[in-house]
Every structure is written in structure tokens, then in C-alpha cells.
Amino acid sequence: MKTFLALLLVFFATTQTAMALTDAQKFNSANKLYLEHEYGKAVELYNSIDISNPDLEYNRASAYYKEGKIGKAILHLNRALKLRPGDEDALANLRYIRSIKHDRENDGEDIYITNAAVAVANALPINGMIAITLFVYLLAAACLLGLILGNNNKVVNLPRWLIFFVTITIVCAALTSYRIARFERTDRAVAIENSIDAFSGPSDITDRLFTFHEGTKVTIGRKDGAYAFVTLSSGLSGWARLENLERI
């Protein structure tokens, strides 16, 4: 009985310890597993973290790639880029994995804004961008209020500051909107099965139009039962089973 209680206590304690692991600790442990070539276990641990983080998505994609799951790897790299469009590592890995996957795709589809002007913005979380935009917006409003109340003086050139902050606000708002729009876009998916048939209708008794393969990115249109109307970057379109696709 004592032994049972002791075991129960140990089990309870370890479970509690496991439950108490923070996301960062899980992430670091998964990295360690990856280093030890335990890719399957690393994936499991990465998947247990329920937050959206570009580093998490990137590492998860790497582990999937090492496991040989190219479709999943491309999916999570796209998710990483969705969160942080300017991530050079993610872009490089995506380029590389796309070069070895079965289907050739139009590269123009995956153009992310990576130029210097928005590189900084791409590196920030959306909430961070919102906070910055809001801050600059309030500064612009304060300048405007100061101007209305006639508190302009020679030390603080309010009209100049107002123009400056309004401009910054517009730029930040545009970038933030773009990021939000990208983030909210849910019509993109990646093929996660090795070979997927596309049919002329939402049923496998209709004509098979073409077959696409793991890792191919598609745009999802209307849905009908278990099928969705998909369009490839080449323009090919047909009905494919949704279970074979995973939204980015």
C-alpha cells in the first residue's frame, strides 16, 4: 500500500511537473530532441505548444522535414511566414523544400514583402505593430489638439510634428493592415498527403482532372461536403478532398 502510494505520489508529481512546463521550456526541449535526431518526439512536443509563434512554426517545419513530411514542413513554414513575413531562414527553407518536392509551382505566388523598408515591420508581432501604430496615432492626435487649443510655440513646432506623426501613422497603419489581412486570410492550404486527385465535381465518381502532390499550395474556394474547390498556382482547378489539405 505504501509503495502504491509512493508511486502514485511520484506519478502525480511528475505529471504536475510536466504540466507545469512553460511553452518556452517545451520549445527548448523539442529543440534538444531535434538535435538528438528524435524528430518524431520533437514534433510531438512542438505540437503541444498552443500558441502562434514564428520560431515555433519554423522549428516544427524543420522537424517535419527531417521526418520526411514535406507537406507539413511547407505548411508550417508558410505559417511562420504568415506571422513573420521577412524571416530569411523560413524563406530559404521554403525555397529549398519547394525545389525538391514533386510539383513545380509558380514562385511568384509566394512573394513576401522582404524589402528593407518593411523588414523591421515584418519582424514584429502584429500586436507590437498595432501598439506602435496606436502610439504614433495618439501622438498625432495630441499634436492636433495642441494646435486647436492654440498652444503652438516656437520651441515645439507642432505643425511639423503633426505632419511627421500623421505620416508615420499612415505608414504603420498600412503595414499593420497588410499584416492583419495576410494573417486573417484562410483560403490557402497545403497538400499534406502524398498524392491527391482533383475531380471535376465534389465527388470521386466525377472525372479525375489532375493529381497534385504533397506540399503543393492551393487556394480553397467553395466547399461541398467533404470536398473543396481548389485552384493551383498554375491555374488548374478542381475538387479535392478537404481532409488531404491543411489550411495555412
- Interface residues with another protein (CB under 8 A) are 22-24, 27-28, 31, 34-35, 49, 51-56, 58-59, 62, 65, 83-84, 89, 92-93, 96-97, 125-127, 130-131, 134, 137-138, 141, 144-145, 148-150, 179-180, 183
Choose between 6 and 156: whose C-beta lies nearer to another protein. Answer: 156
Sheet of 245-247, strand order? 208-213, 195-199, 237-241, 227-232, 217-224, 188-191, 245-247
Residue 58 or 112: the one with the smaller Cβ distance to another protein is 58
> How far apart are alpha carbons 230 and 221 in whole angstroms?
6
The rounded distance, in Å, linking the Cα atoms of 165 and 169 is: 6
CB of 83 to another protein, least distance (A): 5
C-alpha cell at 9: 505520489
CB-nearer residue toward another protein: 134 or 170: 134
Q: Which is nearer to another protein, 134 or 226 (CB)?
A: 134
CB of 147 to another protein, least distance (A): 9
Q: Which is nearer to another protein, 35 or 117 (CB)?
A: 35
Taking the C-alpha atoms of residue 164 and residue 114, their distance in angstroms, rounded to an integer, is 24
Rounded to a whole number of angstroms, the distance between the first and last alpha carbons of the chain is 52
CB of 56 to another protein, least distance (A): 7
Q: Which is nearer to another protein, 69 or 241 (CB)?
A: 69
Residue with grid cell 487556394, as numbered in its chain:
219
